Structure 1
Amino acid sequence: MACRIISTGEMVAGAKRWYNIERSKERGILMQQTRLPLPVGTTDFKRICRENYYVDKTLLIKDLLDEKVSNILFTRPRRFGKTLNMDMLRTFFEKTDVDTSSYFKDKAIWQQGESYRQQQGQYPVIFLSLKDIKAQDWETAYELLKMIISSEYARHPELQAGNEISQQDKDFYEKIVNKNANKADYMLSLQILSRMLYQYYKKAPVIIIDEYDTPIQEGFVNNYYNEAIRFIRNFFSAALKDNPYITMSIMTGILRVAKESIFSGLNNIRVDSVLDDTFSAYFGFTEGEVKIITQYYNVTEKLAEIKSWYDGYRFGSTEIYNPWSVINYISSSCKAIPYWSQTSENTIIHEILKKYNEATYRNLHELLKENGQVSSVIKTNIIYPELKGPQTDILGFLLMTGYLKATEMILNEDGEHLCRLNIPNKEIRTIYRKEIISLLIAEVGDMTVTDLRDALLNKDSAVIKETLGRFMMQTISYYDGLRESYYHGLMLGLITIFEYTHFIRSNRESGTGRYDIQLIPKNAGMPGIIIEIKAGEAKDDDCALSKLAQVAFDQIEEKKYDTELRSLGVSVIHKYGIAFANKRVELKTN
């Protein structure tokens, strides 16, 4: 078998698995012609083992068996290896006419003893992937669900001929395969298939459901959430609640949908999230795995760049790299760009960032700072309709979906997680900025954003004031007493368009104080920009607001905020004191 597998017989990063890479005599550097390609875009376990480099995650099997799992849900961000792991589990457990043990004899699980080897190829398996249930309306989504269920039934033609199966069940089988069943039949179809497989094989099947929450997420975005929840809840509950005909069920998804929404009937389901330890090393690459990958491809000098761009996640207590991005980075001649952002439209993130309230922008303001972080109590379950409400748990959602990292975590007496959060790496920081730019353009138009950029570069005070005023009128609700941090967050959002020409800095020391925002030009000849922000009160008239803008400008001069720019050789520096009061704005410049 051609597959290359990580293993050196050592324990790495506390993960309970072995690394198994065949090193050459010259310190692990292999000749280019012997290197296998990384698996870009494929999640077929057997194919990867035959044709590609494989990072061995088979000790997931051992831990599942050791933990005596009945029903488990793994929640991880997209593109962190969930589907590949589920296909690996299917290949290991499923009883087939073809001997599949050859795919595991050179893997870590095979070295764990006879008791584990005896589990290979012993179970009927029901495998459903809901990752492609993406539709604009419920009718189309339901048709796609029917097709997936029908295809899984058709994968077990032995049930049609088996004497162990009653004629009534055979008739039901025919209805599902031919897509002639009614909605109630489909809701019960998973339960009935498990019973038929048990009757035929005299062994309870393993149920694997990949990306269970895709139809729910699509329903939320496209306004058929209630229909999707109703079907999925009945579909899962019938099959997984107190079902004597299954050995175990394993599900994956991005989020844990709140129990009252979908898992109300499943009291025995175990949820393993990004905050948990037991299975933390099996989704994504650990630091040890990335080091061995770079040795195999002879790019160890790129480790620091890989770390700054694609590391920074923390699942439980394990440091994790984004596997999709690492694979694409190495496969693309080590070009450091945000690969992860190219895998979806980030629709829900866009919905969340549309909430122009003070808490949202205060948190974004803190997170987008250099080494910025915030603290919050995190809920591990999500109620999708609340994402559109005023009390959205935005930080919890961003953590679970991979846009934030928990650096510290305390479990309080109420069973809630108090977490310190930050942006994991350069890739995600870039995504935030692009999402904010996209959002602002969608909300106020491309002209507003580009007008502001050009006016700041050209020191056109009239256009800056007019553009900011137009933006405030279009987007800001009328609240009394909005704080400075709110307007600071708004400005950070608006100036993200500068990321291609300037380094954006916020709340950094320069001179004898800390400026609000500084833009350092990447190319000689472009101006540097310093912005100091003040928040007035609703009662302030234009004269009072103008005086406050002057105070902001004077602060730039008095505290010598231009010291850092001048030390970098920037000769042209535009300085702006800006004062906001609800929807009004005044500014002073040099």
Structure 2
Amino acid sequence: MPVFRIGADDFKKLRDNGGYFVDKSLLIKEIIEGNDVALLPRPRRFGKTLNMTLLRYFFELSEDNRRYLFEDLNIANHPDCMKHQGQYPVVFISLKDVKGTCFGEMKQRLIEKIGELLIQFRYLSINLEPIYEKGFHALISGTPDDATLKASLKNLITWLYLYHQKPVIVLIDEYDSPMIEAWTNGYYPDLADFMRSWLGGGLKPENAHTLYRAVITGILRVAKESIFSDLNNLKVITTLQSHATAQMFGFTEGEVDKILTDFSIPEHDKIIREWYNGYRFGNQTIYNPWSVTNYIDNLPNPPGPHWLNTSANTLVYEELGQGGIEIKRDLEKLLTGKEIRYPINETVTFRDMGRNPANIWSFLYFSGYLRAEDPQEDIRGRTTYQLSIPNREIGYAYEYFIESIYPKPGGGLDALMEWFTKENPISVLEEILQSLTLNLLSYHDFARLPEAIFHAFVLGLLANLRSVYDIRSNAESGFGRADILMIPKGVKYATTYVIEFKSVHPQEKIEESAKQALDQIHEKQYDILADSPGLKTKHVRRLAIVVQGKKVIIRE
């Protein structure tokens, strides 16, 4: 029986230990035939580090023969590519765990990381000029000045080229991890200045004779003017592009079928597709590899949000939480299984993130929280994409977000969930919702379009019931659109709820508005959908929820 080595991100160790490997070796061919410098942004846990170590062990000069690692892989069928095996000095550095709460702390972590890198190349110091030897030892000992630190990548490439008389391959994994840390902690400009000098100095076109290829991975494509301004030779290949590298990160449908066959569990294809499929990279349908392997490794346990549990998702939730009314409306659509349409900004900057919804959705797309498809040109000549939640696992992420911005005050959210799964008096629901409103919403939230805000607020709270109710927002039913329809998915909870919202000014009569809302439900027959054949409805409750300032009443 094959075995996954969960968390194994070193290609050689994985192969030597007999771990199951999904063959991505043709990435080597794409790098050989591609641009001098390539940036490949992909979501976290989509195989970036494993692929980077695959490149390392293929290209790297080594005293031990590593050809055996590739002899049964697809790349072995390309003799022109195999000529490159073991032919280059390789600089491999991962910035994944380089973190700091201030720039001084981050700088110290970078000094340590670069010092660890240079220790691998101690032999270079033998032939260095005195001026370079001093800087080399300063880097290893952790005492470089700023100029030496910024020039460290450029100098290392030069030293390796002079020593081996061969151009160098540079592999930088998770380049943007420090950038995200810097943005979160408020020192982004300082770190961007360092990264611009460090990367630009080492990888710019003037160094073409010393550099064979450079491959950079991360989650985001940080704007070129931010840190890549000197790299005119940079080719950025995002998940929006139909490119041969699209299928090199994550699992394709064919690869998942083979995995299920190899593990003798073909009956699990529907569950895996529902929970972990749904991404589109170029023209490829892609599965989340981390979640697929963890699901199979954890059988017979049920599926769960394996990918979500690998990150705190802090920046994602911050950006959503700071969004305005338009973001809340779009969240409402996504939570009810609908799509939204926006342009994707491939060069989104951190400082521009919250300035318009398109930037926030672009960030979420590149981070792995949205599916993008059906590109169309809008009237302004921009390419827009249909965005949706890709699968059940990511649906949980949005539910977690709702819970994070609307915490549980005195168990109010639990009480709300309990009310909808039991036959309780309407007065109890009114008390619960009034408490949640007083604790979680401010008058500022109602400054504009209060009905829309309250609608999105309640819809977000109800998202936790998606496993037992089909929750539809602005659903076509009868002769109009019901604000919210909750249709039971099984016989255990057999009540359909039809909810209509109203918002009234302080001088208006709140009871009259409640009556108008109930009349609207009856007159427009919003409840007619509950009588459709095949539904599990035993009876219908029609609710009018009216908000006046922060006062809430519910009538049925």
State the TM-score, normalized to the length of structure 2.
0.91
- CA drift of 1:449 comes to 2.8
Q: Which amino acid in the other structure matches residue 495 of structure 1?
A: L
Superposition pairs for residues 476-515 of structure 1, below 5 Å?
476-482=444-450, 484-499=451-466, 502-508=469-475, 514-515=481-482
Paired residue secondary structure (1:43): coil
How far apart, CA to CA, are the structure 2 residues paired with 1:394 and 1:454? 33
Structure 2 vs 1, CA of residues 475 and 75 (structure 1 numbering), >3 Å: closer, same or farther?
farther
Match of 1:177 in 2: 140
Q: Which amino acid in the other structure matches residue 474 of structure 1?
A: S
- CA drift of 1:203 comes to 0.8
Q: Which amino acid in the other structure matches residue 37 of structure 1?
A: V
Whether 1:133 and 2:95 are equivalent positions in the alignment is no
Match of 2:4 in 1: 38
- CA drift of 1:190 comes to 0.5
Judge conservation of contact 2:545–2:553 (CA < 8 Å) in 1.
Answer: yes
Paired residue secondary structure (2:91): strand
Judge conservation of contact 1:82–1:210 (CA < 8 Å) in 2.
Answer: yes
Structure 2 vs 1, CA of residues 573 and 85 (structure 1 numbering), >3 Å: closer, same or farther?
same
- CA drift of 1:549 comes to 2.9
- CA drift of 1:426 comes to 1.0
Paired residue secondary structure (2:285): strand
Judge conservation of contact 1:75–1:253 (CA < 8 Å) in 2.
Answer: yes
How far apart, CA to CA, are the structure 1 residues paired with 2:380 and 2:152? 38
Q: Which of the residues 345, 353, 358 maps onto 1:379?
A: 345
Paired residue secondary structure (2:49): helix
Superposition pairs for residues 263-412 of structure 1, below 5 Å?
263-278=228-243, 279-333=245-299, 335-370=302-337, 372-389=338-355, 393-410=359-376
Q: Which amino acid in the other structure matches residue 323 of structure 1?
A: P
Structure 2 vs 1, CA of residues 59 and 353 (structure 1 numbering), >3 Å: closer, same or farther?
same
Match of 1:17 in 2: none
- CA drift of 1:240 comes to 1.3
Match of 1:200 in 2: 163
Judge conservation of contact 2:2–2:262 (CA < 8 Å) in 1.
Answer: no
Match of 1:215 in 2: 178
Structure 2 vs 1, CA of residues 224 and 507 (structure 1 numbering), >3 Å: closer, same or farther?
same
Judge conservation of contact 1:94–1:124 (CA < 8 Å) in 2.
Answer: yes
- CA drift of 1:360 comes to 0.6
Match of 2:414 in 1: 450
Paired residue secondary structure (1:419): strand
Deviates more, 1:171-180 or 1:520-529: 520-529
Paired residue secondary structure (1:575): strand
Judge conservation of contact 1:449–1:497 (CA < 8 Å) in 2.
Answer: no
Q: Which of the residues 390, 393, 399 maps onto 1:424?
A: 390
Paired residue secondary structure (1:550): helix
Give deviations 1:93-147, integer Å, cap 9, x for gaps.
110111111111111111112x211101100011110000133332322222111
Match of 2:21 in 1: 54
- CA drift of 1:267 comes to 2.4
Match of 1:7 in 2: none
Paired residue secondary structure (2:442): helix
Match of 2:190 in 1: 227
Give deviations 1:159-190, integer Å, cap 9, x for gaps.
023x3x32322222111111111222111100
Whether 1:589 and 2:555 are equivalent positions in the alignment is yes
Match of 1:104 in 2: 70
- CA drift of 1:315 comes to 0.5
How far apart, CA to CA, are the structure 1 residues paired with 2:246 and 2:223? 22
Judge conservation of contact 1:233–1:262 (CA < 8 Å) in 2.
Answer: yes
Judge conservation of contact 2:24–2:248 (CA < 8 Å) in 1.
Answer: yes
Q: Which of the residues 522, 544, 554 maps onto 1:577?
A: 544
How far apart, CA to CA, are the structure 2 residues paired with 1:413 and 1:452? 44
Judge conservation of contact 1:530–1:562 (CA < 8 Å) in 2.
Answer: no
- CA drift of 1:277 comes to 1.5
Paired residue secondary structure (1:309): helix
Judge conservation of contact 1:80–1:323 (CA < 8 Å) in 2.
Answer: yes
Q: Which of the residues 141, 149, 156 maps onto 1:186?
A: 149
Give deviations 1:236-261, integer Å, cap 9, x for gaps.
11111232321111100100111222
Q: Which of the residues 146, 150, 153 maps onto 2:115?
A: 150
Q: Which of the residues 21, 39, 43 maps onto 1:73?
A: 39
State the TM-score, normalized to the length of structure 1.
0.86
Deviates more, 1:567-576 or 1:76-85: 567-576
How far apart, CA to CA, are the structure 2 residues paired with 1:475 and 1:356? 16
How far apart, CA to CA, are the structure 2 residues paired with 1:477 and 1:435? 18
Whether 1:93 and 2:59 are equivalent positions in the alignment is yes
Judge conservation of contact 1:337–1:427 (CA < 8 Å) in 2.
Answer: yes
Superposition pairs for residues 113-128 of structure 1, below 5 Å?
113=79, 115-128=80-93
Paired residue secondary structure (1:128): strand
- CA drift of 1:574 comes to 3.8
Judge conservation of contact 2:499–2:544 (CA < 8 Å) in 1.
Answer: yes
RMSD (CA atoms): 2.6
Structure 2 vs 1, CA of residues 196 and 422 (structure 1 numbering), >3 Å: closer, same or farther?
same
* Unaligned runs of at least 5 residues, structure 1: 1-34
Q: Which amino acid in the other structure matches residue 506 of structure 1?
A: S
Q: Which of the residues 449, 463, 466 maps onto 2:434?
A: 466
Q: Percent identical across equivalent pairs?
A: 33
Q: Which amino acid in the other structure matches residue 308 of structure 2?
A: S
- CA drift of 1:73 comes to 0.5
Judge conservation of contact 1:81–1:323 (CA < 8 Å) in 2.
Answer: yes
Give deviations 1:210-265, integer Å, cap 9, x for gaps.
00000010111122222222221221111112323211111001001112221122
Structure 2 vs 1, CA of residues 454 and 291 (structure 1 numbering), >3 Å: closer, same or farther?
closer
How far apart, CA to CA, are the structure 2 residues paired with 1:392 and 1:256? 15
Judge conservation of contact 2:496–2:530 (CA < 8 Å) in 1.
Answer: no
Deviates more, 1:301-310 or 1:508-517: 508-517
How far apart, CA to CA, are the structure 2 residues paired with 1:302 and 1:192? 52
